[in-house]
Amino acid sequence: MKLGVIGCGKMATALVKGAVSQGVVKAADVIGVARTEASRVRFSEQTGARNTASISDVVKEAEVLILATKPLDLPGIIRSADLENFPDKLYVSIAAGVTLETMERLTGGACRIVRTMPNTPSLVGKGAAAFSLGSKCLESDRDVVQSILGAVGMSVEVPERLIDAVTGLSGSGPAYIYLVIEAMADGGVQAGLPRADALKLAAQTVAGAAAMVLETGLHPAVLKDMVTSPGGTTIAGLAALEEGAIRSSFIAAVGAAVARARELGKS
């Protein structure tokens, strides 16, 4: 597979780095383009891939193109690169809010396009992503996208109408959990723990709890009950969280993020 990248930011770099390290693609078969030389050099240093200042070189050489520009820049990039003249390529967009309908219209209606929503833990190989196939995609395109996203975590296929829901949940979700980790660490500091130790313990606790959900397949409520003994410390802490309406707060946070994603998509 010949892979091209338009926009060599952190997310695109993470995807390429993961794909190379997992053997999905060879570094020599990847070429990226970015607006600034500093971004191009950083991309090559971190991935081992080549870079160029010419979008046309990337488009002509690649079989699969990752579109990783800012959402507002994407329509202009599509036009300037004449992507509608290259319907034989597979285009994988990570531009938030830009719909398949918009991208298909801008590329003349014949191009194979996939819309994806990865998240920042992809930078450390723990990403959670979703993707939607465009109307012209082939069955084999699904495997290509899953191999790229799977190299930096896990992915699920969803109807495009649910991409905004993914944005509000896993796209924005890391920020919610960072807040949880910070708050838990603050509680530890209040109880006398050194800040560094409190942060490590809080972060590892979150990571461990998440691993338990994913690896056991048990419902979170079941796992919660496993560590909640009658009259014990855990139930006291849970009661305090319920007093603070933690469940409804998280549900509202996801809902607010989803609503904002829909607003951005319309604009």
Q: What are 127-157's pLDDT values in tens digits?
A: 999 999 999 999 999 999 999 999 999 999 9
CATH 3.40.50.720 residue ranges for the chain: 3-160
- Looking at residue 266, what is its pLDDT? 77
Beta strand extents in 121-264 (DSSP E only): 127-133, 153-157
Bridge partner list, 5: 32, 66
Angle between helices 173-190 and 195-216 (to 10 degrees): 130
pLDDT at 265 over 80: no
Q: Would you identify the CATH topology of the domain 3-160? A: Rossmann fold (3.40.50)
Q: How far is CA 112 from CA 90, 160, 257, 261, in A?
A: 5, 15, 29, 24
- Determine how β-strand 64-67 pairs with β-strand 3-6: parallel
pTM, entire model: 0.91
Buried (b) or exposed (e) across 7-30, using 16+ Cβ within 10 A?
bbbebbbbbbbbbbeeebbebebb
Digit-coded pLDDT (tens) for 66-98: 999 998 899 999 998 999 999 999 999 999 889
pLDDT in tens, 215-258: 999 999 999 999 999 999 999 999 999 999 999 999 999 999 99
For tokens 């603070």, name the residue.
244
- The model's pLDDT over 92-130, given as tens digits with 9 standing for 90+, comes to 999 988 999 999 999 999 999 999 999 999 999 999 999
pLDDT at 246: 95
> For position 49, what pLDDT does the model report?
97
How does 242-253 read in b/e, with b if 16+ C-beta sit within 10 Å?
eeeeeeeeeeeb
CA atoms within 13 A on the CB side of 206: 16
Do residues 208 and 201 make contact, with C-beta atoms less than 8 angstroms apart?
no
Pairing of strands 30-33, 3-6: parallel
Contact 97, 261 (CB under 8 A): yes
**Nearest alpha-carbon partner for 33 in 1, 80, 103, 72:** 80
Strand, helix or coil for residue 148: helix
Q: What three-state secondary structure class fits 127?
A: strand
Say if residue 29's pLDDT is above 80. Answer: yes
Query: How does the average pLDDT of the chain come out, rounded?
Result: 95
Domain with CATH 1.10.3730.10 in the chain: 171-266
Instruction: Give residue 264's pLDDT.
Output: 80
Q: What CATH code is assigned to 171-266?
A: 1.10.3730.10
